[in-house]
Structure formats: structure tokens, C-alpha cells
Amino acid sequence: MHADGVDFDYGRVSAIFIASLVAKKTDVAQRIVETCKEPVVAVRTVDGVRALLYCPAHLAALEVAGLSLAGQTGRDPESINTTLFFDGAVNDHAHDRAA
Amino acid sequence: MIEPRATRCLPAVDAVIGKIVAVHALLMSESDISPRNQKIGIALRELVELLLKSYDPAETAAILNHAEVAALRISLLARLSKAELALERYWSQRFITRKSLGVSDLTEFLYWRNYERLLGLELQALTAMWRRLSLRKNGGIAFVGAGPLPLCCTSGPASLSFVSMRMLKPVKARVNFCRSSVSMG
């Protein structure tokens, strides 16, 4: 299926990967938190000079959206991106919607 | 006499700044920014190779805060985004015309090694934090922002299963391009 990530209902998924090129990462994160109970979210980003290839994810904004940083990949000389892993707090609102 | 570090770093910093300015100018002047345009293919590969190198914080700051680089960065990112779309379309068209297609074919993709490394690092990180994550059984995986060549949708779930993360139920991907699209099966 194909849908806009900002409007999609993530209630049926447990893990979500967000690509580096996604411009509205925070909006997508907010939608995930609204619609998915206990999501695991992987956000691909860049650091250092690689911010000249992609727009980096804004960690603080993702946390304000309701995600909690659980870990991340290490920096690697052969990989352009790094990935931040988040879990969402138990979201009763999303749970109620799913029920 | 030992030169200050900032002075010794200048050639590396200058090389990156020079490449950024040149690639931006090329991307803005060329109408075809797909790999069919050899100039684009070479320039982007060289840019990626240069930016994959390691730079210390002072060098990084000197590059990112350089007035010319800072001024063109937003425009560069927008054009690079379009170039990536063109790159993925080019490769997906190459693959789609084949009578059969296996994972070994996908390794021909120019940036396959980068994808493979990233997936490996992600699996490593996920394995390390596995017990902390509360992943629901039988949930699907959504890929937000998959392009015309959804390598992570095709190779990712198989790799996830391989490391016995069996609580995830991989979903087959069918993809169209949209900057924030969701792909699921």
C-alpha cells in the first residue's frame, strides 16, 4: 500500500523505519505516537559533514513528539547514514483507537 | 616549528568546500541529473567518497560554517534529493527489465555497499537493545520514505528474520515514491 506518512494510521505495525530523505520526520513521529501503541521507530539520519547530503534528524523535536531514544548505530566509514532507535511510551490513546 | 592544527587541516577543508561548490554548480546547470549523465554520476560519487572521510570537530565546523557552503546548503540538499530520486529510478528501471531478479543482482547497485553496511549496523544495534524494546508480536514493519528502489524493504525484513527477531512479521513492500510515503504489503 502507499500513503502519506504524515496521515497514515500506524496501528497495525510494530516497527517503523523513517528514511533519511523524509523531510517531515517530526510530523511523521507525532503521527506514529498518536496512532501506534508502543512503537519501535528507526530514524535514519546523518552527522558531521554528511549533513551536506541529507538533512539531519532533530533529536529534541523527536523526543518532544513523544519518542524516547533507546540506542543508535555507531559511526562507520562505509555508511553514509546513522540510525537512531526510539521506543514510544505506552500510548493509551492509540490503544483505545486500536480497540 | 609545529604549525597550528587549523592550518594543517586547511587542505582537507578546502577540498571539501571546493567539491561542494562545484557539485552544486553542476547540479544546478545540468537538466539530466540521473546516472545517464556521466558528469553527474562521477561528481556525486566523488562527493560521497569525500564526505565519508573522517573530519575532526574543527574541520567539520570550518566546512559547515563556511559562508558559501552555508548559503547553498538548502539548495544543494533539494537538488541532491532529486538526484537520488533519479538515481533510484534509473536503477529500478535497469532491474525491472530483467527476466529474473535475485538479491545478487541488487548488489550491482552503485551504493549497495552503503545499504548493506547500514543494515548490518542497524541489526547490531537492535540486537544490543533487544531486551529493552517492547516490540509487539505479529506487527508489520512500515518503511516511511521508500523510493523507487526500496532496497531496505526487500533486504531488511529478511535480515531481521535472519537474526531471529521473529516477533516482527515482515511485510512485502510495494512502493511508489513520495517524500514521506509509507510502504507496506
Look at residue B63 in the predicted model and tell me its pLDDT. Answer: 97
Q: How many whole angstroms separate alpha carbon A44 and alpha carbon B7?
A: 34
- B3 to chain A nearest CA, in Å? 24
* Chain A CB contacts of B77 below 8 Å: 52-55
To test the contact with chain A by mutation, choose from B182, B183, B184 the residue with the greatest count of A C-beta atoms within 10 A, namely B182
For chain A, the domains span: 10-98
Nearest to B176, CA basis, from B73, B92, B61, B74: B92
Q: Which of A84-98, B14-28, B98-112, B145-159 reaches the highest mean pLDDT?
A: B14-28
Residue B141 scores a pLDDT above 60: yes
Q: How many whole angstroms separate alpha carbon B38 and alpha carbon B164?
A: 42
Residue A14 scores a pLDDT above 60: yes
Q: How many whole angstroms separate alpha carbon B172 and alpha carbon A48?
A: 34
Residues A71-75: what's their mean pLDDT? Answer: 89
Residue B156 scores a pLDDT above 70: no
Nearest to A6, CA basis, from B82, B142, B122, B170: B142
Nearest to A15, CA basis, from B126, B119, B163: B126
* Chain B CB contacts of A21 below 8 Å: 81, 84, 145, 147, 179
- A75 to chain B nearest CA, in Å? 9
pLDDT top residue among A79 and B64:
B64
Q: Which long-range contacts (CB under 8 A, 24 or more apart) does B16-22 make?
A: B16/A49, B16/B50, B16/B51, B16/B55, B16/B63, B17/B63, B17/B66, B17/B68, B17/B69, B19/B46, B19/B47, B19/B50, B20/A52, B20/B47, B20/B63, B20/B69, B20/B72, B20/B76, B21/B68, B21/B69, B21/B72
Look at residue B18 in the predicted model and tell me its pLDDT. Answer: 97
Residue B27 scores a pLDDT above 60: yes
Strands B140-144 and B181-183: antiparallel
Per-residue pLDDT reduced to its tens digit, A20-65: 999 889 999 999 999 998 889 999 999 999 999 999 999 999 999 9
Q: Is residue B167 very low, low, confident or very high in pLDDT (cuts 50, 70, 90)? A: very low
Residue of A nearest to B71 (CA): A52
pLDDT top residue among B134 and B43:
B43
Q: Which residues contact A37 (CB under 8 A, 6 or more apart)?
A: A11, A88, A90, A91, A94, A95, A98, B136
Q: Give burial (CB, 10 Å; 0-12/13-18/19+) of B36.
A: exposed
